[in-house]
A = this chain, B = another copy of it.
Amino acid sequence: MKQFTSVKDIPDPIGLVQDTIKLKNNHRFSDLGKNKTIGLLFFNPSLRTRMSTQKAAQNLGMNHIVLNVGQDGWALEFEEGAIMNGTTVEHIKDAAPVMGLYCDILAIRCFPNLKDREEDYSEKILQQFIKYCNIPVISLESATLHPLQSLADMITIQEHQKQHTPKIVLTWAPHIKPIPQAVANSFAEWAVGCGHQLTITHPKGYELSEHFTEGTVIEYNQEKALENADFVYVKNWSSYHEYGKILDVQENWLLDNQKMSITHHANIMHCLPVRRNVELSDELLDSENSLVLKQAENRIYAAQIVLQKILETNF
């Protein structure tokens, strides 16, 4: 494995999920990463991703170096040919290869700005690190995708599914701020990549990029979508078409017990952090059906299997 930025980097996603479950149950600690260093670059804040990736690296005996870009270092320039007489101090063309010399693997967290869709969906930051750093790169959530979250989600579904073809529903939920589409995009492409049947439900205007939802069913009626669902993944995202906007939504999209009664005793999923009683009610989050802590726990093993595959393949 050369990079981990999307399900498309994985030849056999189902096999990867199965390998992770084996790792989790039998081989949590090893020395595979001895004398290897992972650099963790944060352009944005992070709690689960930061901690779970550090834990995963430690489980493999790897060293890690954390760099809060901007805070510990300085502003980076991403424009080719820029005359750097402004606020940026170092060009990605210099910073990335240097980091590549100091680390064996680079893991990068970089959010979209939600203003310029073309720029965000080009994954400018992540792609330039990949282009210039000369070592394997792991996405810790990029402008458009969150593959470690999605892998953890797939592991969690695998661990809790009772039949071979569960009905999985990704439902849009309200939020007070414009939120990236990354988790939703990523969940869609991983669900399809793992052979799942995925129904996505959201208000009109909240259609995700078709690039990521190919192979899924779009159903605007939330109740209809929830019928007989086995897993309900709750997530807000801002509009892709009116990019980064919060659209006016009249209906009530907040999940509640009554809506859940339509499902097949569905498990409830969310990537966290969750705005309680805005995106999802206390009632449902604290119910036995909630898998949110299982998903969070599986973030460790998602990160660890990816590190392991990269270590095995590249060194």
Contacts and interface: CB of A to CB of B under 8 A. Distances in A.
A90 B273 contact: yes
A274 B90 contact: yes
A297 interface: yes
Identical copies in the complex: 3
Contacts of A247: none
B51 A84 contact: no
Contact of A74 (B45, B68, B77): B45
Given A81-B282, A275-B89, A46 B63 contact: no
Contacts of A293: 97-98, 101
Nearest to A77: B276
Interface of A: 28-29, 35, 37, 39, 42, 45-48, 50-52, 54-55, 58-59, 63, 65, 67-68, 71-74, 77, 81-85, 89-91, 93-95, 97-99, 101-103, 176, 272-278, 282, 285-286, 292-293, 296-297, 300
Nearest to A79: B276
A40 to B, nearest CB: 11
B35 A59 contact: yes
Residue among A73, A95, A276, A293 having the largest count of chain B Cβ atoms under 10 Å: A276
